Structure 1
């Protein structure tokens, strides 16, 4: 018997979870091993259920309050061995979608296309590919400077500087903490903003809030 792709479903809308579960159960090569309505439940499932793919909304109750699951997904995707993540969302902001790719999400499906695109997305990420549904791709290409799937990926050092900066540390404070020169930190900050398509400090802070960093 062929190996089934084990999937965890996380969404705070009952109708979405039921719909996704039925969709996957109708296909013989998937096995739903858990479902939850919030980030706390997702964290518990990840600790107790082995899976290859997580299908998750990001606008659901977070572990420390709020309504954003990105922080949990970001921590998950930093681990050496982790399941692939497909985000199921209604977000159509290009910077936000690009940010999900930057933290390691490899599949993004607009909820309006779940019935037709979700199975393809799960199969694609399981094979190591990036998958964007049509609505998501259109949203990312609608900006004047569409983000590139790989050119816009921040390096580990750029991401480190970016996180500290949006937490409120000044460039010179980051330089001291990371034992680098102020010039290096400033260059890495500018590079991160350029890759993310951010032009102003307001853009940077707004983007950080969207992906759950601020």
Structure 2
């Protein structure tokens, strides 16, 4: 019995990674790479021109007209609903991976894992089965992937929402009528629960983490 050829598109802004993925796909006779591109504009153009079954895409891939991360994934799910999506990422923050998985992405590979997981993930995606590479599995809770935001206390959530909205620690302390040291402690504790240690990452992933929401009531 012959097996169908699974058509795969690759998107990553690093040429070496694209080559590695292509090499892994080329080793499997039932897989065919229809193209490898470096940004979301080229990916969407490729999908509009060529029939495709599975997309293997980087998560952080700046420069294209359709963005990257959840913005790109939402676009692909809306405009190419029959596509199976596999995300490869170098992210290692548990909160980021949990947010990605909670958004409905069931096929996630870490760039820290061997590229041999790529064909396995493609086969799983084709069969509508979940596939997480070993490093990704370690970053997710044992029972599913609840929103990481649930781990925050109401006050930690409140402080982080205000911080990503553009207020400084001093301004937050004034607005909430708390001591600056208290606000700083709550901010640090909240970021630690999200697995984030840099303010830049907190701003970058605020939307994915649900931090651009209405401010909750304080305790």
**Which TM-score applies when normalising by structure 1?**
0.67
Partners in 2 of 1:110 and 1:16 — Cα distance?
A: 12
Whether 1:104 aligns to 2:99 is no
| 1:99/1:211 contact within 8 Å kept | no
The answer for unaligned runs of 5 or more in structure 2 is 165-200, 213-219
Q: Which residue of structure 2 lines up, in the alignment, with residue 124 of structure 1? A: 124
Unaligned runs of 5+ in 1: 154-191
Structure 1 residue aligned with 2:186: none
Q: Distance in 2 between matches of 1:137 and 1:103?
A: 16
Q: SS of the counterpart of 2:45?
A: helix
CA distance in 2, matches of 1:198, 1:82: 36
Q: Which residue number in structure 2 is paired with residue 84 of structure 1? A: 84
- Deviation track 1:58-104 (CA, whole Å, cap 9, x = no partner) reads 111243497x3431112222457331111111111122112222333
CA contact (8 A) 1:6 1:30 kept: yes
**Quick check: 1:210 aligned with 2:208?**
no
Equivalenced residue count is 167
C-alpha contact 1:95 1:207 (8 A) present in aligned 2: no
Distance 1:83 1:64 in 2: 20
Aligned 8 A contact 1:13 1:37 in 2: yes
Tell me the residue number matched to 2:57: 56
Give the structure with higher Rg (CA).
Answer: 2
- Richer in helix (by share): 1
Q: Deviations over 1:1-51 (max 9, x none)?
A: 431111000001111111111110111010001110011111111222221
Residues 1:33 and 2:28 are matched in the alignment: no
Q: Secondary structure at the match of 2:112?
A: helix
Alignment correspondent of 1:14 = 15
Q: Give distance in 1, aligned partners of 2:12 and 2:26.
A: 17
Residue of structure 1 equivalent to 2:71: 71
Secondary structure at the aligned position of 2:41 is classed as helix
CA distance in 2, matches of 1:202, 1:114: 39
